[in-house]
Amino acid sequence: MVRTLPYGAWTSPIDAALAASHDGRPEYVGFVGDEVWWTEPRPTEGGRRALVRRTGEGERSVLPAPWNVRSRVIEYGGQPWAGAARPDGPLVVFVDFADQRLYAYEPDTPGAAPRPLTPLSPVGDGLRWADPQIHLDRGEVWCVLEEFTGSGPSEVRRVVAAVPLDGSAADERSAVRELSDGRHRFVTGARLSPDGRRAAWVAWDHPRMPWDGTELILADVGADGLLRQAWTLAGGEDESIVQAEWAPDGTLLFASDRSGWWNLYRADPHRGTVALCPRDEEFAGPLWKIGQRWFTPLASGLIAVVHGIGATGLGILDPESSEVVDTAGPWTEWAPTLAAHGSRVVGVAASPRSAYEVVELDTATGHARVIGAEHDDPVDPSYYPEPQIRTFAGPAGREIHAHIYPPHNPGHRAPDAELPPYVVWAHGGPTGHAPLVLDLEIAYFTSRGIGVAEVNYGGSTGYGRAYRDRLREQWGVVDVEDCAAVALALADEGTADRARLAIRGGSAGGWTAAASLATTDVYACGTVQYPILDLTSWGTGETHDFESQYLHSLVGPIDEVPGRYRERSPIEHAERITAPFLLLQGLDDVICPPAQCERFLAKMAGRRVPHAYIAFEGESHGFRRADTVIRCLESELSLYAQTFGITPPGIPTLELSK
């Protein structure tokens, strides 16, 4: 029986605890011999990342709690583990989040325990490691070393380094061999050519971000293992190269956006740089984490590729014919992690009806199957939202891509005359992308009668360089305008209630949410998570090194346009904010530090705008613990209930201060 109740008052089996327990996705797939390994979130275990292996007996964790396989290089981290098959069992090298040391572990050796390979450092935030590559024949693991040279967030250097596998560097920094010369601020891990004679990696420098301009570096490998005569093969200030890999035949493959789209190229010693599949679509994405992989070469000479416009698929590219054969299956989004072994390719994929799973493709048969983190519907899937892929018209007629999730619940309907409330979700980055996948946090709202609109505003990736360049020097303008245009279009067409629109976002999305509340009258309230609120402070040292000059492109050089930084900052315009808001912050966040929230709240004091501030100990940038996610979702829903005049059953009331 279908009950008629107002939007927002519907009962749902998707509670906050259920959504929190399914938060996060598998990452960093790889092969260790014939076995597939990956990392997986554990929200109910303090938010740690577990290392998981798939054996003939099924999935099992490699390391017990509290081991947390996660790197902090550039704060967003990167590939945190590597494995190698040996006659006496596998060897795995991994980064533990607690101390950021590199460890070696032999999981099949009775009584073995992880042993440290790298030392601790008392300087600043110490030593960090990412993107390891094990070279058993050299007795080393090559990786990115991030070393703090002082107490400040930008007192740091990064190099390609070699760590001995025998543990001789566990207490001795001098035993770590630096392979690159340190002339670049940022580097990815080095890839060794099949003949061992050359190494390749990607590098870039401030003020560019890796999606702005990078260089593909090559170096000769001497008999002593040192890298010599490094030179730039491709790239520059306006060309983004985000991945490079050696093919089995010894040629170098790389992903570049020199055409305006990230496409694949081969560095041919006889023909120069050759485009392998020139198309107006993306074969790569923004390098937010060191070691992300959008393509991987196969022994057959074919290349597995993640590609598409907006949505992504897994395809097999024949570099000789430029033909791509896509994998059959329900998946509409493939994460930037791939690995290959023989004819097998492994990745991580999701769809609007399934969360992210570990998927294996047998290229010999074309058959794809789920082999890990298999989606298992925790509730009747009829409660899942039915997304719509929409394109809206923005200012000056520009296109805005969005995913619309109308309210949906098989047991409820709203009165005929009522329009539903909607919440606009602004993704982070802002050089990010909202994927079209099942998200129980979205279902938490839609199954209660609150619509969600995920906006891939100008600046988002997945639609070519021109689309993401719309945000250059326009952050706080284009993103705000695009989100508002979608919200108002939904109201104008009779999809949403104009009086009951809200906005929410985290990190850069938190900035967009706060800037929207300060500069528009579109929204009745907003949820702002771990945001940037003060551009001037954030752009002059109040963040980590990786993004410390990001605003150079997003807003403009601060020494040239300081007034623009003040004019766009929500903290400078507290008097303009009249809508209720919820502010959520991790106290360990070094990317968007809590000091920004605290100063913002001081500006709001005495203005009698209803609001709540919840700060979480032990949480950093992005919330990972189940209890944190539960409180955030319930508090957010309570904010909407109080603002929109709805009565969701069983939700604790959030106390709003004035």
Q: Is the pLDDT of residue 270 over 80?
A: no
If one counts every other C-beta atom within 10 angstroms of the C-beta of residue 366, the result is 11
Provide the whole-model pTM.
0.96
Rounded Cα–Cα distance for residues 214 and 13 (Å): 47
Question: Which tokens hold the place of 456?
Answer: 């891939």
Task: Report if residue 56 sits inside a domain.
Answer: no
Q: Which of 552, 512, 551, 562 is nearest to 533 (CA)?
A: 512
pLDDT over 80 (residue 107): yes
pLDDT for 530 equals 97
Cβ pair 551, 535 in contact under 8 A? yes
User: Tell me: the pLDDT tens digits for 465-496?
Assistant: 999 999 999 999 999 999 999 999 999 999 99
Q: What is the pLDDT of residues 321-336, one digit of tens each?
A: 999 999 999 999 999 9
Residue 488 domain flag: yes
Instruction: Note whether residue 356 is domain-resident.
Output: no
Specify if 435 maps to a domain.
yes
pLDDT of residue 349: 98
What pLDDT, on the 0 to 100 scale, is given for residue 584? 98
Confidence of residue 217 (pLDDT cuts 50, 70, 90): very high
- Say if residue 622's pLDDT is above 80: yes
The arithmetic mean of pLDDT across residues 167-178, rounded, is 97
- Is 484 part of a structural domain of the chain? yes
Please report whether residue 152 resides in a domain: no
- For the beta sheet containing 48-55, the strands, ordered from the edge strand earlier in sequence to the opposite edge, are 27-32, 35-42, 48-55, 58-61
Q: What is the largest CA-CA distance in the chain?
A: 78
Contact 630, 17 (CB under 8 A): yes
Answer whether residue 158 shows pLDDT above 80.
Answer: yes
- Structural contact between residues 208 and 548, judged by C-beta atoms closer than 8 angstroms: no
The arithmetic mean of pLDDT across residues 277-301, rounded, is: 98
Report yes or no on 88 lying in a domain. Answer: no
> Which of 327, 319, 361 shows the shortest CA–CA distance to 344?
361
In this prediction, residues 52-74 reach a mean pLDDT of: 95
Distance from C-alpha of 372 to C-alpha of 60, rounded to nearest angstrom: 10
What amino acid is encoded at 518 in this protein? A
Question: Two tokens at 324?
Answer: 């791509």
Q: For residue 658, what pLDDT band results from cuts at 50, 70 and 90? A: confident
Q: 271 pLDDT exceeds 80?
A: no
Contact 440, 447 (CB under 8 A): no
**What is residue 518's predicted lDDT score, i.e. its pLDDT?**
97
Task: Give the number of domains in the chain.
Answer: 1
Single-letter residue type at 3: R
CA 592/CA 158 separation, integer angstroms: 22
Smallest CA-to-CA distance from 399 within 319, 464, 492, 448 is with: 464
Give pLDDT, residue 57.
86
Q: How far apart are CA 333 and CA 356, in angstroms?
A: 9
Q: What is the dihedral of CA 526, 530, 536, 538, to 10 degrees?
A: -160
Band (pLDDT 50/70/90 cuts) for residue 23 is confident
Would 490 be classed as within a structural domain? yes
Position 571 scores a pLDDT of: 96
% of the chain beyond a pLDDT of 70 = 100
Structural domain range at position 616: 3-16+379-644
Q: What is the pLDDT of residue 338?
A: 98
Extract the tokens encoding 241. Answer: 């190269």
Q: pLDDT per residue over 575-615, tens digit each? A: 999 999 999 999 999 999 999 999 999 999 999 999 999 99
Q: What is the DSSP letter of 389?
A: E
For residue range 545-585, list pLDDT tens digits in order.
999 999 999 999 999 999 999 999 999 999 999 999 999 99
CATH of the domain at 548: 3.40.50.1820
* pLDDT per residue as tens digits for the range 412-426: 999 999 999 999 999
Q: Single out the residue of 600, 589, 433 nearest to residue 526, CA to CA.
A: 600
* For the chain, the helix, strand and coil percentages under 3-state DSSP, each to the nearest 5: 15, 35, 50
